[in-house]
């Protein structure tokens, strides 16, 4: 038995624009968020496979149902290699909070897939990585759009319309993104159902709000293309107002969005499914981003992260 240790890494993701409206055929923009990371380490250890992660520490076969997507991929990959599911341990370190819309499940799966291929000395193509990641995501989310796996695996900004191919585009903006965590798990399924019911109850108003969110997502893409951070900020804030009217924000998110805006943010909004989870704020420079971050923490944010939106200038 060799003593090889294998490592796989992955990053998080942020939905910049298009939450909920993407369900109704409107565009969404998702960006890689490298300041949040996952590291999976696999090493030889005699006996049954052990798993050590945020949710669970113990024998792989005893892992809770919430980890079914991950454990299934581990089993399937090992079987596909015609290897025995024994004599190794898996340690997963993640700074991506779960259930916050930051791609935690996809990131953990992708880091683990990379580590497994390295551990068993198999070459890993991008297509295989994406295929395995989507196996996990389907178990975790039921009917995912695939955007989390695509963003995390490809690490490129994507413009996405349901049912159409993902469209990568360059995101280089003279601005910084601040992410604030409410500390509450997001309630994506409940939020999606709430939007559906609102639209059914008031078709005209509901559809008008969805249409406006689609227009704002297109405007955001244009703002990025022409490097207009001020315009992007305005678009983000308008989107949050509509998302709040749709019932997918909550007091914790609105509090942090207001705190960001009151302290100089160019724009702010919730990100992801809503009803908890995270919000994002746009800052013109690092100094302002640090200031907003501190104000968010003072206002109740459980954690914050800051990233430059300029290519080749990501803050670690």
Catalytically active residues, by annotation:
148
DSSP the chain: ----EEEEEEEEEEEEE-TTGGGGT--EEEEEEEEEEEEEEEEEEEEE-EEESSS-EEEGGG--GGGHHHHHHHHHHHHHTT--SEEEEEEEEE-S-TTSSS-HHHHHHHHHHHHHHHHTT----HHHHHHHHHHHHHHHHSS--SHHHHHHHH-S-EEE-TTS--EE-----S-EEEEEE-SSPP-HHHHHHHHHHHHHHSHHHHHHHHHHHHHHHHHHHHHHHTT-HHHHHHHHHHHHHHHHHTT---HHHHHHHHHHHHTT-SEEEEESS-SSSEEEEEESSHHHHHHHHHHHHHTT-SEEEEEE-STT----
């Amino acid at each position: 038995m060799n003593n090889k240790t294998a490592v796989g890494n992955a990053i998080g993701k942020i939905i910049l624009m298009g939450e909920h409206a993407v369900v109704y055929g409107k565009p969404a923009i998702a960006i890689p968020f490298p300041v949040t990371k996952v590291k999976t380490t696999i090493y030889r250890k005699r006996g049954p496979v052990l798993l050590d992660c945020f949710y669970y520490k113990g024998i792989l076969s005893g892992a809770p149902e919430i980890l079914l997507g991950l454990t299934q991929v581990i089993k399937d990959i090992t079987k596909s290699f015609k290897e025995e599911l024994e004599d190794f341990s898996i340690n997963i370190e993640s700074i991506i909070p779960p259930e916050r819309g930051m791609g935690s499940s996809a990131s953990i799966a992708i880091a683990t897939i990379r580590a497994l291929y390295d551990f068993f000395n198999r070459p890993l193509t991008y297509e295989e990585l994406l295929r395995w990641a989507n196996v996990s995501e389907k178990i975790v989310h039921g009917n995912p759009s695939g955007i989390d796996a695509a963003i995390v695996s490809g690490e490129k900004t994507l413009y996405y319309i349901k049912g159409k191919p993902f469209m990568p585009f360059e995101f280089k903006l003279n601005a910084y993104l601040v992410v604030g965590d409410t500390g509450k798990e997001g309630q994506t399924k409940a939020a999606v159902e709430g939007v559906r019911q609102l639209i059914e109850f008031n078709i005209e108003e509901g559809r008008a709000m969805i249409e406006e969110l689609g227009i704002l997502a297109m405007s955001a893409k244009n703002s990025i293309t022409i490097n207009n951070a001020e315009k992007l900020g305005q678009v983000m804030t308008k989107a949050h107002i509509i998302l709040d009217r749709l019932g997918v924000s909550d007091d914790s998110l609105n509090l942090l969005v207001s705190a960001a805006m009151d302290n100089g943010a160019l724009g702010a909004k919730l990100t992801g499914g809503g009803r908890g989870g995270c919000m994002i704020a746009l800052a013109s420079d690092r100094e302002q981003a640090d200031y907003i971050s501190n104000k968010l923490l003072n206002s109740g944010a459980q954690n914050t992260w800051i990233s430059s939106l300029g290519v080749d200038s990501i803050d670690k």
